[in-house]
Structure 1
Amino acid sequence: MRWRQGRKSSNVEDRRGEQSPGGGGLGGMGNLLALAPFLLRSKTGWLILAALAALYFFGGNLFSGMQTTESPSLGPDAQTAPGTPGATDELAEFVAVVLGSTEDVWGGIFQQAGSQYTAPKLVLYTDAVRSACGLSSAAVGPFYCPGDQKVYLDLSFLNELKKLGAPGDFAFAYVIAHEVGHHVQNLQGTSAQIQQARMRADKVTANRLSVMLELQADCYAGVWAFYANRDKQMLEPGDIEEGLRAAAAVGDDHLQRRAGRAVSPDAFTHGSAEQRAYWFNQGFSTGDVNKCNTFAALSGR
């Protein structure tokens, strides 16, 4: 991607240097008290409880030295090597530029529709974070919380994308644009409508509604890519292929197979690899938010 000359968003909230929420990232004293009745039933439980209490009151990491965390880099074009502070700082700059681009694109789209776009904040964190949606660990991946209208991102997720077979700067940009797509849905009222519909529906239908919501966010990510390329020429040859690979890599069927499970469409929450790639490309090839009506596709209209 041609991103280095792009405008950096001022809506990035950097919490990476903060202590993990709840005392060592384990949920705080409330979690210790909740675990206590179960742990006190055995001698081993007593030892675990004592260790957790020590971690809560004195800080630190019980697993220090047992694993290393590699600082992610954008790939072969990065100016600093993985494992150095500069690599992470460059990635944070990249995130700020991508977020700035989404602000420009969606600001223009909303303005053309006669309304005003309110940009989300993007929170960078490490290991765990507390939001209006509760306490979350980095294991859940990037997410959007409608309660505080913020996108939450641990930069180490770039390494996870690489493990899933989706390396490259545009693959990471797609992930950011997808989460911003959820913010757009929130502003439009779509998220609240679908949540209400899911509460009235059976489990299978509720899952399908979740899938359609996620696929629409994929389509919105494609719409962003269309305008970022048309107006700012941010894309380079191969970028869209990176985006399509990333969309497919996080498909439910791909993740189920990777986990050694049988593919179960009724358990999908984000869509298959084919669906995710299709809807991202739908947004990119048309640049039209009206072509992102995944719910009409669900109902057969």
Structure 2
Amino acid sequence: MRRFILRRLLQSAVALLGVTLVVFLLLQMVPGDPVRVALGTRFDPETYEALRSRAGLDQPAVVQYFSYLGNALTGDLGVSFRSGEPVTDIVLARLPATLSLAFTALLLALLIAFPLGVISGVRSGSPIDHAVRIFSQFGVSVPDFWMGIMGILLFAGVLGWLPPSGYVALSEDPAGWLAHVILPAATVGLVTASILTRFIRSSVLEVLSQDYVRTAEAKGLRPRVVVLRHVLRNALIPVVTVVAVQLASLLGGVIVIEVLFAWPGIGRLTFDAVQARDYPVLQGAVLLVAGLFLLVNLLVDLLYARLDPRISVR
């Protein structure tokens, strides 16, 4: 187990190195001067040169990259062109909002997808199965921003039950946080639930056709016992991968939803950084997202060994 973790950590470090290189090269190819854009109407030649020198943009590209890489290893991701604040502080300040939205949306998705997917798989071909398949197809086909707009019009505009946008920290006001997170989490959660429902249904159907399930049924076990004890555990293994991918995507920031609901998370930060050409902030946000993806993948690999004793982690 220890060797496996060390090997994966090394692979993750190499992957992060590749991410920094790719992002740096892409930003180098983007036309325009980010410092000039950041100054706007406050442009002054002396200030302009001072900011370029401070950001290291007057150095060759190779020197810029290795300088950034060396500073990143110490936790220094540079400073924002727009605000002058450390990028590390900016990114970490946005992380709690993204975490709260991601885990709330995933929880809603799991609460919807698991019962629907299992029932649909167990009762394949029934009216319930057809209804679940229609729901999952609807959730996958309809754009999430449209569902968000409809949710705002209905629950904020017509009914007045929920605020249309904004964010309140969970630690400051739990009730206010819940009121603000419901709409964006439900919008993202419905799309995620539709994807998970389809995979859970397919996985349950595949396990139901296995010999050991038919043997359990032939022994006279009740259907509920067969599903809970023999079907669900084995059906969970491929579903875990899909759940992990969805969670990593949510942690990466759902840009459209965060912009639509004025949610101050990583997605909104990335959008603002692209608009302002704030390259240090953009690099920091992408690096954090890549790290979250790799962390989730590592946890999933470890979870596989717990779900299936046949899988060895070495």
Higher relative contact order (CA 8 A, sep 6+): 2
Classify the TM-score, shorter chain. under 0.3
TM-score, scaled to structure 2: 0.27
Flag the structure with higher helix content: 2
The structure with the largest alpha-carbon Rg is: 2
Flag the structure with higher strand content: 1
